[in-house]
Structure 1
Amino acid sequence: MNIEQIWSAYQSKLKGYLHNNIANPDDVDDLLQDILIKTHHKLPTLNDESKIKSWLFQIARNTIIDFYRRQQVEKEHQDSQENSLWNEEQEQSILQQLSECMSPFINALPEAEAQLLTAIEINGMSQKDYAKQTGIKYSTLKSQVQKSRKSLHQLFNACCTFSVDSQGNLMDYQPKVHRPSCKCS
């Protein structure tokens, strides 16, 4: 038997089988074409022509299984991308909200700490450049940055409750009871 004879004898039965297992008619046509291609490629491996029908339907079953597996993988990938995008947007939104209230907190620190954090954290100046510009030893400046960050952190904690993930990334924040000193409420 050649592929044309096999296809003319079994195409309609295979199509009916696919319609029973696949909801979308366009997918049925695509899968039928896949089965034809697989049949053409694997026909030389068929040893017993009397088993052609069961052989074809085994190819059809495997094609359907592969189809549903692909759909599941695509759905999981799409869900993963959507969750990733949502988390990025959520994280950006939280960081954007907090960055808008960062300056008042920094300005509430003593003037030297406020200038230091504004230059390094807000304006993005490197600690080495700031040390050179101000004539402070780099090792001393690093200690001052840590101390200033700790002071800023205490101001934030007095105002807001923060939720962080297992890696320490900010997930959400909630202002505490409104306080006059709180800059975020």
Structure 2
Amino acid sequence: MNLDAIWNEYRASLKAFLHSNVANPDDVDDLLQEILIKTYHNLGDVKETNKVKPWLFQVANNTIIDFYRNRAKGKELTQDELWYTEGDVTVHQQLSQCVLPFIQALPEDEAEMLTAIDIHGQSQKEYAEKNGIKYTTLKSRVQKSRDKMNMLFRECCELSLDKHGNIVDFQAKNKRCKNC
């Protein structure tokens, strides 16, 4: 696969996707450059040419998520700041409305922990120190809580994952799912 050909074909679509999710045009240009670098380094991982486009947009989506996480360190974010609904809606955007209800469905201590770490971007090490918990114990608790939340997702939705475990599609199992 030729990087130049792929980039020429998808650059405009990626930029439009970024504009629909990021308000500042300068940030869009920076993120597009970051996506190009990631593509250059990791394009060899994509074995089938028909999977290049979804892979590129997954890279773009993850880059946007990282951008907002880094920006959010030390500041409280709202749901509206994390996910934009203009333009095409990605799988992650569709499922994002479910994250907080699923976290809130967990026991209070687990919900508080995941909200601080996964929503507000507090480091696990910092959370452990602040709450007087051993770091290794906290890591285990976070993983168990994430597993519980994953189970809640799987009760409501059939998730399709790529080879790296990233969600690429989903189908609701029950339209009356109370958390989503």
Tell me whether 1:106 sits opposite 2:103 in the alignment. Answer: yes
When the two chains are superposed, the root-mean-square deviation of aligned CA atoms in Å is 2.8
Question: Bigger radius of gyration, 1 or 2?
Answer: 1
The TM-score normalised by the length of structure 1 is 0.52
Q: Distance in 2 between the 1:77 and 1:178 partners?
A: 39
Q: Distance in 2 between the 1:131 and 1:176 partners?
A: 36
Give per-residue Cα distances to partners, 1:110-152, cap 9 Å, x unaligned: 0011001000011110000000111111111011001101100
Q: Which runs of 5+ in 1 are unaligned?
A: 1-71
Per-residue deviation at 1:107?
Answer: 0.2
Give the aligned residue type for 1:88: F
SS in 2 for 1:101: helix
Give the aligned residue type for 1:147: K
Aligned residue for 1:117? 114
Q: Superposed, which structure 2 residues align to 1:6-155 within 5 Å?
A: 78-79=8-9, 81=11, 84=53, 87-88=56-57, 92=61, 93-155=90-152
Q: In 2 relative to 1, CA 116–73 (structure 1 residues): closer, same or farther, beyond 3 Å?
A: closer
Q: Which runs of 5+ in 2 are unaligned?
A: 14-51, 62-89
Q: Distance in 1 between the 2:106 and 2:139 partners?
A: 17
Tell me whether 1:158 sits opposite 2:155 in the alignment. Answer: yes
Structure 1 or 2: more helix by fraction:
1
4+ aligned runs moved over 2 Å, structure 1 = 72-87, 89-92
The answer as to whether partners of 2:156 and 2:177 remain within 8 angstroms in 1 is no
The answer as to whether partners of 1:131 and 1:141 remain within 8 angstroms in 2 is yes
The percentage of counterpart residues that share the same residue type is: 46
Of residues 166, 169, 173 in structure 2, which corresponds to 1:172? Answer: 169
The answer as to whether partners of 1:91 and 1:170 remain within 8 angstroms in 2 is no
Q: Which has the higher contact order (CA 8 A, sep 6+)?
A: 2
Count of residues paired in the alignment: 112
SS in 2 for 1:98: helix
The TM-score normalised by the length of structure 2 is 0.54
